[in-house]
Amino acid sequence: MLKFSGKIFDGTKLIEGTVLVEGNQIVEVEEGKMESDSTKGFIIPGMIDAHLHFFGVHEDNVMSWNLVNEIDVAIRSTRDMERLLRSGFTTVRDLGSKVATRLSNLERSGEIIGPRVIASGYSLAITGGDDDPRDLPLEMAQKLSYSFYCDSPYECRKAVRLAVRQGAGVIKVYASGAFSQGGKILPGLGPYELKSIVEESHRFGLKVASHAYGREAILNSVEAGVDTIEHGLGLDKDTASMMLDRGTCYIPTLATYEIPFHVANPEVRRYREEAVSRHMKEDVKLAKSVGLKIATGTDYVGSDARPHGKNYREAVLLSQFMGNDEVLASTTSVAAECLGIRAGRIEKGYLADLVVLRNDPLQNVENLSPENVLYVVKDGKMYRGVGRED
């Protein structure tokens, strides 16, 4: 049996005492009782990144994401898995890549060290849409892509089944594309296509995560019944209220936008920068004021600019809009609820996912950084954290 004593953020509130772990579950939380033979520190549930990608690239662009050698991706992503775990992340959700379903299987079988991976397999997008490398011939692009292209409700239902065949634990869709000239957002999957995807996914017991830029894409996604809105640039009060009514989670991925992304066209770059600036200042503020469930997700891809292991940055950025206790909930209990897993809480009967920190993140969210992670417990197994010196 493992024992951990100290100040404990249990997923919703601060207590003090001892956590007892047996097997892969928390078997007791003894408030006020401090065990002399326990590991000491500030204890939180294992952190969750609800939106990332295992791309295993150096550069950040669509062509690199699609053309990178899959052996390189597998080797680099295996390294990234261990780095994520030792940085305090016990669950991650990969929303589109070529290797994540395999990483998930290998982690479950104990062949590699890393967080639990909820993988979408290939994402679902329209032909010529986001993540379609359009400089390549269509046949080649479809062969190299980490997305299934589907262009009707019937094709979309089949694409869901193809993702299920890959071993998907969630379905990722593109309800919009990127920015184009004139400040327009390129279209993605339409209302009928999204509805068919949600129906088919829920039939298989899978949640649906929607990449949505702009009011139209967010509205179409929420009306179709998706479970989480990813990015959500351009959130407005009406769509936020609809999300609240339907219990749709919001994952703003602020961390990816604090890092410059090269856009060659100056007009497109200007409109993108304006939308990102509004997102970083206003969208989360609105989501918070309405009462949406906000979960942490970075959209990090394992590149030089967005390296796995620094994923705590999302919590730091969210702390501009909410209290530190709410930030910790967003990266633990709220994220777990949005993903539909029995984790994210230090409570009897929950998965034994814990992080022992050197310093108190309720005082300063920067204390979630890897350098402060002493130990990580995932499924009841203890690992040395990045911040452990011996």
Q: What CATH number is given to the structural domain containing 26?
A: 2.30.40.10
Pick from 208-217, 254-263, 335-344: least confident: 254-263
- pLDDT tier at 63, thresholds 50, 70, 90: confident
Mean pLDDT of 25-41: 88
Let me know if residue 180 belongs to a domain.
yes
Q: What is the rounded distance in angstroms from the CA atom of residue 110 to the CA atom of residue 106?
A: 6
- Do 32 and 109 lie in one domain? The reply is no
Lowest mean pLDDT segment, chosen from 25-34, 90-99, 278-287: 25-34
Residue span of the structural domain in which 33 resides: 1-43+344-382
Domain membership flag for residue 389: no
N residues, the chain: 390
| 9 and 150 together in one domain | no
We report the CATH number of the domain holding residue 97 as: 3.20.20.140
In a domain, 354, yes or no: yes
Residue burial 184-223, b: 16+ Cβ < 10 Å; e: rest: ebbbbbbeebbbbbbbbbbeeebbbbbbbbbebbbbbbbe
pLDDT at residue 38, as a whole number: 81
Residue 387 covered by a domain: no
CB 114 within 8 Å of CB 82: yes
Any domain includes 268: yes
Secondary structure element (H or E) that encloses residue 165, with its range:
helix 153-166
Q: Could you report the per-residue pLDDT of 3-29, keeping only the tens digit for each?
A: 999 999 999 999 999 999 999 999 999
Mean pLDDT of the chain: 94
In a domain, 327, yes or no: yes
pLDDT band at 302; cut points 50, 70, 90: very high
Answer yes or no: do 57 and 132 share one domain: yes
With respect to residue 297, please indicate whether it lies within any of the assigned structural domains: yes
In this structure, the answer to whether residues 134 and 203 fall within a common structural domain is yes
Burial class of residue 389 (count of CB atoms within 10 Å of its CB; 0-12, 13-18, 19+): exposed
Report pLDDT for 184. Answer: 85
Q: How far apart (Å, rounded) are the C-alpha atoms in residues 234 and 327?
A: 22
Q: How many domains does the chain have?
A: 2
**Bridging pattern class, strands 208-213 and 176-179:** unpaired
Q: Is residue 390 part of a domain?
A: no
Judgement on whether residues 34 and 51 belong to the same structural domain of the protein: no
Residue range 288-294: mean pLDDT, rounded:
97
Question: Do 158 and 85 fall within a single domain?
Answer: yes
Q: How confident is the model at residue 102 (pLDDT cuts 50, 70, 90)?
A: very high
303 shares its domain with 182: yes
Whether residue 267 sits in one domain with residue 154: yes
**Are 137 and 269 part of one and the same domain?**
yes
Q: Identify whether residues 278 and 377 lie together within a single domain.
A: no
CA–CA distances in Å: residue 325 to residues 75, 90, 248, 306: 36, 19, 22, 26
Query: Residues with Cβ < 8 Å from 311, sequence gap 6 or more?
Result: 47, 49, 52, 84, 87, 89, 255, 296, 298, 300
pLDDT band at 35 (very low <50, low <70, confident <90, very high): confident
pLDDT value, residue 389: 67
pLDDT in tens, 195-230: 999 999 999 999 999 999 999 999 999 999 999 999
DSSP assigned state of 370: G
Closest listed residue to residue 25, CA positions, set 354, 265, 374, 298: 354
Same domain membership, residue 246 and residue 190: yes
Q: Above 80 in pLDDT, residue 180?
A: no
Angstrom distances, CA of residue 384 to CA of 32, 65, 87, 150, 153: 26, 31, 9, 44, 48
Whether residues 13 and 122 share a domain: the answer is: no
Q: Looking at residue 390, what is its pLDDT?
A: 63
26 has which bridge partners?
Answer: 21
